[in-house]
Amino acid sequence: MKALSLLGRCLLRWIGLACVLVIAAGAGSNKAGAGGVSETRTWSVDGVQREALIFRPTKTGSPGGIPVILAFHGHGGSMAQAARSFALQDVWPEALVIYPQGLKTPGLLTDPEGTRNGWQMTAGAQGDRDLALVDAILASVRQKPGIDAKRIYATGHSNGGGFTYLLWARRAGEFAAFAPVAAIPALGGFPTEPKPVLHLAGKADPLVKFAWQERTIQMVRKLNGCGSGEPWPGDASCTLYASAKSAPVVTWVHEGGHSYPAEAPGLIVRFFKEKQLP
């Protein structure tokens, strides 16, 4: 009888836990993934359901609270693909990492018909739907207890990196630093406020030409009041351009093409860890 009683209590506990999980699923689906449990969250933005894949911190103890990274996939990508290839949640388990999902978007370099998912590249394009999505995400993030509002960051690859530049241009005050990968800003989308940035570029990039990215880096260095370059302390493969405006530029130039490099997550997280809003 005691064994049956114990079994009964265990079953009740499991039933209770199942109920909690069902209730939690009403706010978004949960599943195991790289770096812990991921959760799909939705927001209604101008009548359109938008979503993002979120990885909650799996470690505690980050000084000042929980940092936040918004990471944007490239044109034709997805939030799930970005979570697998970027895997920032594995490199910075103390952070809240958010992978938003893009919508069908005409590409500037490919897919002019807009049959694949992507991001707006200029202010006003697609009704500013993606800027509005970021506004909605940030509003909800700031309501979470323990979030460090001084440590919110944005990164993205290709079209997602171009959108990262647009966030710098239009939402600079919301973010502590940016890290575009294989990307350039669109015409009319160049930032005007100095901010710390890490730019990663491939010399053999066949899509976003290295020469275009070089010009972007030069313009960013001028905006940020940077001097000559020197090896980034701790990683001589990167170049640090110190800034008179507290907005250093770090670049990592590799021999590869347009693909997201395996070294990117570690470099991005290291750079972000060094930066916060005043």
Percent of the chain with pLDDT over 70: 87
* pLDDT: which is higher, 270 or 13: 270
Q: Is the pLDDT of residue 39 over 80?
A: yes
C-alpha Rg value of the chain to the nearest Å: 20
Q: Is the pLDDT of residue 2 over 60?
A: no
Please determine, looking at this structure, whether the domain spanning 30-273 carries the CATH number 3.40.50.1820.
yes
Residues 74 and 118: their CA atoms lie apart, in Å, by 6
In the predicted model, what is the mean pLDDT of the chain? 88
* pLDDT: which is higher, 87 or 15: 87
Average pLDDT for 91-116: 92
Residues 263 and 224: their CA atoms lie apart, in Å, by 25
Q: Which of 52, 94, 58 is nearest to 73 (CA)?
A: 52
At residue 30, the pLDDT reads 54
Residues 55 and 201: their CA atoms lie apart, in Å, by 27
Q: Is the pLDDT of residue 77 over 50?
A: yes
Structural tokens at position 187: 């015409």
What pLDDT, in 10s, does the model give residues 191-225?
Answer: 999 999 999 999 999 999 999 999 999 999 999 99
Q: Where are the domains of the chain?
A: 30-273
At residue 114, the pLDDT reads 86
At residue 118, the pLDDT reads 96
Q: Grade residue 17 by pLDDT with cuts at 50, 70 and 90.
A: very low
Q: Is the pTM of this model over 0.85?
A: yes
How many residues does the structure list for the chain? 278
Q: Is the pLDDT of residue 27 over 80?
A: no
Residues 6+ apart with CB under 8 A from 240: 229, 230, 231, 232, 233, 248, 249, 250
At residue 36, the pLDDT reads 61
Helix intervals (H) in 142-209: 159-170
